[in-house]
């Protein structure tokens, strides 16, 4: 990527053939050729360059999905980017590409709840063992490595509790022990963090979130280096995990304003965080406190922060915390995040997942906020009035 991120995503992939700013949607199940010789030529091209967008069947993609993959390849600074129908599909693809029965993987304890179910429960049916490490004590990671360890799976920051880890140290431990690494980088996207440059083998982003930015599309991306490309490509072919062209088009369109939106999400979130930090019964789970470990680890690796944050609220009355959430009328209630709108969610055990290292007192409650693109003054005013319900 020779131009800056901001310039590149505005100018890349223009379609001068059709004279359109964005590439067209090409839908196809059958890829049609003029002769059998042309089919064989295309298949030979695909063998020589499997990243080049040479298709002989619609399951492999169309020009619409290939263009999105190429854009993401540049901004991730990766060897290739695979596209999946959901963000969780990218998680699945990363793990199943590099593990086999008898292997072990080591997973960050504060990982996305479905990822935890996949690794802790589902993988065991295939005789693949998952071990969870403490994000604030990487000795628990290092001690867990054995000759059977194939993958270290990181989510940063941690889901719901927003634990920031020493990513460079994790990569160093992995390379020392010849173990592969994958990271879920959905919170930051490559706009704020480029995991491939840190030495990660795979980088996952749920395109459902900030890439799309409008809460109306599902998708996932898996950026890989050359080392793991063939393994992932093989698994991708067999599983048929493919993103449709219509979704690819919407994600491409959303990417054009990714920087503008994330800058605004960050600005709004910082103002909200500054306001909430004044309340003694609220511990803010966001990189704002400069003397904290989380802030130092964020500052060390990230160029910015997105709009997703957590609140650890101290209250003996659970219903009052739920009432606080329910009274946030400028915040929607629902799963996912990363759209233009603000969201709020009370985090019960189901959302937290079966965490090993999360210690919550009886009177501590987790609330997740996604700070959207509204006027921050309005959001703060809504929070100010609603927080009075917490007893």
Average pLDDT over residues 158-169: 96
pLDDT score, position 1: 63
Residue pair 120/126 in contact by the 8 Å Cβ criterion? no
CATH T-level topology, domain 258-389:
3.90.1150
Fold equal for 5-255 and 258-389: no
Q: How far are the Cα atoms of 154, 162, 325, 359 from residue 135, in angstroms, in the given order?
A: 9, 10, 28, 13
**Does 350 have pLDDT greater than 90?**
no
The enclosing H or E element of 346 equals strand 343-347
- What integer is the mean pLDDT of 99-118? 96
pLDDT of 379 strictly over 70 = yes
Provide the 10 A C-beta neighbour count for residue 354. Answer: 14
Whole-number percent of the chain with pLDDT over 90:
84
Average pLDDT over residues 103-125: 96
- Rounded distance between C-alpha atoms, residue 158 and residue 309, angstroms: 11
Handedness of CA 238, 239, 245, 250 (dihedral sign): negative
Does this model's pTM top 0.85? My answer is yes
Do 367 and 346 meet the contact criterion of CB atoms below 8 Å apart?
Answer: yes
In the CATH hierarchy, which fold is given to the domain comprising 5-255? 3.40.640
- Kindly list the domain boundaries of the chain, sorted by start residue: 5-255, 258-389
pLDDT beyond 80 at 3: no
Task: Give yes or no for residue 2 having a pLDDT over 70.
Answer: no
Q: So what's the pLDDT on residue 174? A: 98
DSSP, collapsed to helix, strand or coil, labels residue 82 as strand
Contacts for 270 with CB less than 8 Å, ≥ 6 apart = 288, 305
Interatomic CA distance for residues 220 and 243, integer angstroms: 8
Q: What is the pLDDT of residues 252-272, one digit of tens each?
A: 999 999 999 999 999 999 999
Beta-bridged to residue 308, according to DSSP, are 370
Q: Per-residue pLDDT tens for 275-332?
A: 999 999 999 999 988 889 999 999 999 999 999 999 999 999 999 999 999 999 999 9
- From CA 368, how far away is CA 161, in angstroms rounded? 9
- Cα(104)–Cα(125) distance, rounded to whole angstroms? 13
Token digits for 4? 């800056």
């Amino acid at each position: 990527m020779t131009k800056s991120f901001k310039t590149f995503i505005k100018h890349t992939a223009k379609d001068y053939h059709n004279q359109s700013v964005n590439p067209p949607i090409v839908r196809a199940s059958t890829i049609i050729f003029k002769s059998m010789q042309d089919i064989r030529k295309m298949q030979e091209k695909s063998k020589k360059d499997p990243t080049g967008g040479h298709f002989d069947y619609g399951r492999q993609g169309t020009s619409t999905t290939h263009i999105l993959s190429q854009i993401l390849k540049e901004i991730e600074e990766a060897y290739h980017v695979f596209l999946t129908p959901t963000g969780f599909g990218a998680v699945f693809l990363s793990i199943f590409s590099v593990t086999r029965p008898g292997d072990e993987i080591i997973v960050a304890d504060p990982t996305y709840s479905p990822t935890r179910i996949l690794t802790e429960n589902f993988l065991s049916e295939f005789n693949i063992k998952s071990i969870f490490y403490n994000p604030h004590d990487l000795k628990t990671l290092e001690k867990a490595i054995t000759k059977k360890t194939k993958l270290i799976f990181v989510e940063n920051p941690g889901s719901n509790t927003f634990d920031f880890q020493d990513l460079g140290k994790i990569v160093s431990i992995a390379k020392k022990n010849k173990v592969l690494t994958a990271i879920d980088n959905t919170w930051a996207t490559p706009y704020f963090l480029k995991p491939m440059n840190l030495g990660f083998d795979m980088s996952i982003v749920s395109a459902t979130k900030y890439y799309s930015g409008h809460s109306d599309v599902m998708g996932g991306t898996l950026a890989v280096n050359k080392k793991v490309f063939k393994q992932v490509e093989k698994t991708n072919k067999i599983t048929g995990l493919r993103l449709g062209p219509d979704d690819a088009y919407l994600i491409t369109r959303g990417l054009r304003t990714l920087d503008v939106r994330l800058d605004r999400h960050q600005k709004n979130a910082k103002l909200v965080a500054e306001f909430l930090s004044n309340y003694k019964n609220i511990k803010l789970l966001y990189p704002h406190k400069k003397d904290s470990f989380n802030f130092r680890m964020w500052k060390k690796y990230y160029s910015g922060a997105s709009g997703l944050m957590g609140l650890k609220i101290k209250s003996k009355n659970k219903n009052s915390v739920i009432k606080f959430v329910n009274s946030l009328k400028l915040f929607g209630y629902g799963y996912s995040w990363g759209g233009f709108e603000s969201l709020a969610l009370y985090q019960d055990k189901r959302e937290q997942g079966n965490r090993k290292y999360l210690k919550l007192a009886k009177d501590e409650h987790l609330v997740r906020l996604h700070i959207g693109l509204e006027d921050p003054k309005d959001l703060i005013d809504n929070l100010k009035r609603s927080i009075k319900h917490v007893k």
